Structure 1
């Protein structure tokens, strides 16, 4: 999002993030401490990125009802409940093709970013180069969807 804002400074968009980016590190968050610090710096310097560490269910529903598009660029998501919540609020969603997400969010109702998948249906994100490739693909595909 930050790169898109830099390339398109007049774009009328705001990114709202909900969740503790430092809560834990596991295979669903394949990032290093340095990458987390970089994410925090991006959030702090871009006034179009709003981050809530946590919100109540009511606050989330209120945010969703005001949203134009939902985004779940997941690398490893098992169920996609947040996509269902966004769709229930009438918000079309941009997701990746990870695990169950294509069944929940087809291109008939939203947008799909197709990533290279492992045999378990997760993104191939092992190693710095693989993570870099996925990030670049996500950015490129998001730019194409936005255009």
Structure 2
């Protein structure tokens, strides 16, 4: 566990079940959750870079990550990635326990990332993000200023 950076903004306050969890050290989820602590903007950039082939050295690694598994949960689970559809559009992504969500839409070449301070509202964030994709996916455009 490296020392926290000193040149960053304070973390956003986080809640679960109405309880303030902000002071809970984020490393407690380092292994199961990947231990990523970053801005939503950077999460979107990382998501785009991963699915556009700019993170992993071997293209076969991403292909393996996107291959359906026999894991419980059906066809939607891949290796660390969930596959779903928003309307008629394929979407890949991952959600974090604390209220984050990140998605990539290959057909549109866009990544989306979001965060809710109250973990219990994560489902609303996911619905809004996938609803947005269904709207622009069905319209056949990906205007980043939408």
After TM superposition, the score normalised by the length of structure 1 is 0.26
Point out the structure with the larger strand share: 2
The one of the two structures with greater contact order (alpha-carbon pairs below 8 A, sep at least 6) is 2
TM-score by length of 2: 0.26
Whose helix fraction is larger, Structure 1's or Structure 2's?
1
